[in-house]
Chain A
Amino acid sequence: MFILNPQSGVPIYRQILEQVRRMVASGQLPPGTALPSVRDLALRHTINPMTISRAYSILETEGLLERHRGRPMTVASQSRNHTQLPKRLEQMGPLVEQTVVAAKQLHLSEAELVKAVRREWEQNDD
């Protein structure tokens, strides 16, 4: 489910956070999907379980995940998601910054960039 790189400069919990957020936002993890348990994930990737449960706790406070007694954690229902718009925008932040910086380096104007984004949006609708 996750692509985790322990040697990355990005801490593992953060890698999980970003991937879960992205997958939930893109619909790859529909509400109600069960996530692997901390222990399963730790053993499968051979990483410390503490970093995984830290990620899961943060996602729980963000409202992305729900904890159930005796059962694995699940993706929270959509209604709770909609209140997280600022968070979702914050999630896009680095990508937006990269795009803008690249555009400026290529001497594109703001209008040209917006046109390119719109084109991509329409193409990606399927």
Chain B
Amino acid sequence: MTDATVEASNLSKSFGDKQVLQDMSFGVSPGDVIGVLGKNGAGKTTLLELMLGFTPPSAGAVRVFGHDSYSLPGSIKSRVGFVPQQDELLDQLTVADQLRVIASFYPRWDSSLITRLCGEWGVDTNARIKSMSVGERQKLSILLAFGHKPELLILDEPVASLDPIARRQFLEQLLTISADGERSIVFSSHIVSDIERLANRIWILKDGKLDWQGDLDALKESIVRLHIRGLKPELAPFKILGLLNLRRDGAFATAVVRDWTPEAQEALEKSASVQIEVETLGLEEIFVELHR
């Protein structure tokens, strides 16, 4: 328990009378790459900023490397990197100056890595930030969080404005970072395909709670779409465990279920004397079905 990178217990957050997060408990272990999914307004940004102490929890606690995040000591802060949703770049500086300013706050800064990435990602170090496009600004924001080689990297919609090639380069760099299995990454994104590539664990935020908190592989194996044939029309609607969605069309039906197992399928086929074909679902389909 104590070597968890992040640990939260019964975390709640409300702004005024609006409750954004309710009673959440979760953990991040070294080597995890966690993709956070949720509708707009589900509380992703609130969750990520709570984890780093930008805002106090209304109830419960969250700890990073064992320390309460609201009062993180400097030794922990230097092991954490954050890319916020809205960039915090200083318009009047050049890229080089901005990098230099941020680098000055960290005792260990890998300038050769940053220089190399600037070259690979096409970031002009002499450009003035106020004249940069949104995509270039986003790339710079990401770079600012890489330089001190943090052990915990938290990114809030880091690639919303990047083209597919830039995104691919970014993913490759994240993979390189997490390759040693000691660093953890938590990132929220709407680009589900990126999450499918990179994450080993998924958090799905819905209605202020973690609707799913587990392995991506397990998620894909748990939520499936059943194509049911041979339904007797007079048969009353039957009960399927873990049903998320059911659509019936005469003798056919489509049911999206969670916590599916082969045993459950066999039992259902026998009890309702139907034939069931299982369709596995990609992450985007799963997300949509969970929100129907």
Interface residue ranges, A against B (CB under 8 Å): 6-14, 39, 42-43, 45-51, 54
Residues of B within 8 A of A50 (CB): 31, 33, 200
Residues of A within 8 A of B176 (CB): 43
With A42-B179, A51-B200: A8-B33 Cβ-Cβ less than 8 Å: no
A46 to B178 CA separation, bound complex (whole angstroms): 12
B49-57, B90-98, B124-132, B275-283: which one contacts chain A? Answer: B275-283
> Which residues 179-214 of B sit at the A interface, judged by CB distance below 8 A?
179, 193, 196-200
5 tightest A-B CB contacts, nearest first? A9-B280, A11-B217, A6-B196, A9-B281, A7-B282
Distance in angstroms from B178 CB to nearest chain A CB is 8
Residues of A within 8 A of B282 (CB): 7-9
| Least CB separation from B33: chain A residue | A48
B14-22, B104-112, B167-175, B241-249: which one contacts chain A? Answer: B167-175
> Would you list 23 pairs from A and B whose C-beta atoms are within 8 A, ordered by A residue?
A6-B197, A7-B196, A8-B280, A8-B282, A9-B220, A9-B285, A11-B216, A11-B220, A11-B221, A13-B217, A14-B217, A42-B175, A43-B172, A43-B176, A45-B197, A46-B171, A46-B172, A46-B175, A47-B198, A49-B175, A49-B179, A50-B200, A51-B216
Q: Are B280 and A47 in contact (CB under 8 A)?
A: no
Q: Are A7 and B179 in contact (CB under 8 A)?
A: no
Chain B residues bordering chain A, tally (CB within 8 A): 27
The reply to whether the CB of B47 lies closer than 8 angstroms to some CB of chain A is no
A12 to B178 CA separation, bound complex (whole angstroms): 18
Residues of B within 8 A of A45 (CB): 197
A46 to B31 CA separation, bound complex (whole angstroms): 16
Q: Are A7 and B284 in contact (CB under 8 A)?
A: yes
The reply to whether the CB of B224 lies closer than 8 angstroms to some CB of chain A is yes
Residues of B within 8 A of A9 (CB): 220, 224, 279-282, 285
Extra pairs beyond A10-B220, A42-B179, A50-B200 (9, CB < 8 Å): A6-B196, A8-B280, A9-B220, A9-B281, A14-B217, A46-B198, A47-B198, A48-B178, A48-B200
Distance in angstroms from B251 CB to nearest chain A CB is 14
Scoring A6, A10, A45, A49 by chain B CB atoms within 10 A of each residue's CB, the highest score goes to: A6
Distance in angstroms from A37 CB to nearest chain B CB is 11
Produce 1/0 per residue, B73-107, CB < 8 A to A.
00000000000000000000000000000000000
Residues of A within 8 A of B33 (CB): 48, 50
Residues of B within 8 A of A12 (CB): 217
Question: Which of B199, B221, B279 is in CB contact (< 8 Å) with A48?
Answer: B199
